[in-house]
Amino acid sequence: MKHLFKKLKLLIASLRIQLLQFRYFSNAFHLVWDAAPRWTLLTGIFMLIGSLLPVANVLLTRSAIHALVEVFGKNGVPFDASKHLPPLAGLAGLMLFGEILGSVSAYVRVNLSEHVQDSIVGKIHVKSISLDMQFFESSEYYDQLQRASTEAVDRPLGMLQNMAGSIGNLITLAAMTGLLVSYGWWLPLVLLIGTLPSLWVAFHVTRRGQKWRRANTFDQRRMSYFNSRLIGAESAGEIRVFALGEHFRNTYRAIRSRLRGERMQMMRDDMRMQFLTSMWAFVTIGAALLWMLLRAMRGLIGLGDLGLMYQAINQVQGQMSAMVSNTNEIYRNLFFLDDLFTFLDLQPKLVDSPNPELLTDLRRGVRVEGVSYRYPGSERFVLKNFNLEIGAGKIVAIVGENGVGKSTLLKLLCRFYDPEVGRITWDGQDLRNVAQADLRRRITVLFQQPVVYPESVRNNIAYGDISAHLSHADIEYAAQSSSADTFIEKLPEGYETVLGRWFGKTDLSGGQWQRLGLARAFVRKADLVILDEPTSAMDSWAESDWMMRFRTLVAGRTALMITHRFTTALQADVIHVMHEGAVVESGTHAELVALGGRYAESWRRQIRDASAD
């Protein structure tokens, strides 16, 4: 008894969850209506007209058959054309009107679909841009994004079209049922009994398919990843040198084989159930048609009635099948809409103060005061009771091994995250009290891995301050600041050269892309310049050339450099050595060498390595 009660409880919970999906009806309608109200209205009007056409067609068919019987029954005797031709002409006109309506309706639906798709993709883009950086460090987020941005894009419109189709089916069914009831009250009931098992099977198939899809989103993404590795340029070199091609192919094929096998097994199971329900529907329709034929043979109904009943039964069965299909699609779309609206309901965890303070020009400096931070889901503190002062107008360098928290510090300064303990201030103002956009307008950053934009050189630089409408002189000066001008002038079309292999024919070396990233960072006239490994991809000549002009470039601004190269750190007014999430040494290059600590040891090692080369 307890086991039965538990199963009943689980069933009720499952039904409650499934019924909750229907709350998305209203959301889907508003989403479609807001995207294209005129096309939505036209779609509804054409749907209503289209749902009445089958009824008119059946009625005109009966009149046309009666007219033909009378005409051919006269054996050449003149007949009244005004009485017999209108039904035939009406039927022909109705067929022509149906063709025209179908073409116009298709045009309207395509317009509506395009507008809705653009609107949903736009909402996904806006939501993605608004979310915090921590979302992009979560595997679950990418599962949600995959489900929301692939199939869910077309689902709101699909669901409304299915709903419109179901309403049209109901209108047609109501009219056809009225016609059939006049010949036998039980006829619609028999046809309904023949259809209900198909509806149950369709719901079962949809539920199982959705459960399988959600369970395998991660593997679907893994499959896409290995496919991109095999055909993309980024990993082409390593795949060939390390002979990874077959390994990636086999991994892709193994995932694909398992997913394909599971899907085909589900399809075989579904086919068996659908075959049984189809046979049941065939038996019920056959019984109704046989009854109709027997009545015609006994002379209880005329040929016109026979034609009407045959068409009406076909229409009722067709409309019921369409309703099953539409209802199942609505049910299926609700699952996909759950994915879409769940994604669109995501809220940034990092929010601005309701009344943000106005950020001023940096005059005193940035201070990191007692900051502790660990990434979401991690028990390990990357920074613990971390303190740092970046004086206004100074060049500050951070050096240390990999994994000591240097890049995390950069993210906190950009306010991609907020400290768990402590605070970061800008001239005494806590960064949590100022608007994120206001802060980031005053910061420019060269990230450790600069983004490679497959666009023109001009755009690659201008993206550093896209709202400033930079002149060509501004672009050139930024390129000169990073020494990028030395290779830009040799490109086929100079600043208009499209870079990368996606859309252009010219690619750059790692060091050249880095110098282009530096130009992008320097084109923005920001108070605080943050450079993460600014010379890591440069050769010694390019580094030396750039470092000679670096102090001139940041004159009047505040700069923070994160670097492994002590030759780069030499340019700083003060160098901080990080170890295990804390600053352990600070001073000028000379002071730190004289101190004989971690910095001095690493400096001597770098000098020895350089001499050995």
Q: What is the predicted pLDDT for the residue at 77? A: 47
Query: Counting beta carbons within 10 angstroms of the beta carbon of residue 21, is it exposed (0 to 12), middle (13 to 18) or buried (19 or more)?
Result: middle
Q: Is the model's pLDDT at 523 over the cut of 80?
A: yes
Q: Is the model's pLDDT at 371 over the cut of 50?
A: yes
Distance, CA of 322 to CA of 557 (rounded, Å): 69
Percent of the chain whose predicted confidence (pLDDT) is above 90: 16
**Cβ atoms < 10 Å from Cβ of 240:** 10
Confidence of residue 426 (pLDDT cuts 50, 70, 90): very high
Q: What is the DSSP letter of 301?
A: S
Distance, CA of 407 to CA of 409 (rounded, Å): 5
The amino acid occupying position 242 is: F
What is the overall mean pLDDT for the chain?
79
Q: Is the model's pLDDT at 395 over the cut of 80?
A: yes
Lowest mean pLDDT across 150-159, 393-402, 543-552: 150-159
Contact 58, 176 (CB under 8 A): yes
- Top pLDDT among 413 and 198 is at 413
Percent of the chain whose predicted confidence (pLDDT) is above 70: 75
Half-sphere exposure (Cβ direction) of 290: Cα atoms closer than 13 Å: 7
CATH fold of 360-442+554-613 reads Rossmann fold (3.40.50)
Taking alpha carbons only, the member of 284, 80, 108 closest to residue 196 is 284
Specify which residues 576 forms β-bridges with. 398, 586
Q: Is the model's pLDDT at 314 over the cut of 50?
A: yes
Q: What is the predicted pLDDT for the residue at 311? A: 66
pLDDT tens per residue, range 271-292: 888 788 778 777 777 777 777 7
pLDDT tens per residue, range 194-215: 677 776 777 777 777 777 877 8
Confidence of residue 319 (pLDDT cuts 50, 70, 90): low
Q: CA 231, 536, 487: angle at the middle one, nearest 5?
A: 75
CATH fold of 23-214+274-344 reads ABC transporter transmembrane region fold (1.20.1560)
Highest mean pLDDT among 148-152, 165-169, 172-176, 571-575: 571-575
Q: What is the predicted pLDDT for the residue at 428? A: 92
Q: What is the predicted pLDDT for the residue at 71? A: 57
Q: Between helices 155-181 and 24-35, what is the axis angle to 10°?
A: 110
Domain 23-214+274-344 and domain 360-442+554-613 have a common topology: no
Domain ranges in the chain are 23-214+274-344, 360-442+554-613
Q: What is the predicted pLDDT for the residue at 611? A: 58
Q: What is the predicted pLDDT for the residue at 315? A: 65
Q: Is the model's pLDDT at 158 over the cut of 70?
A: no
Distance, CA of 216 to CA of 209 (rounded, Å): 11
Q: What is the predicted pLDDT for the residue at 370? A: 93
Q: What is the predicted pLDDT for the residue at 78? A: 47
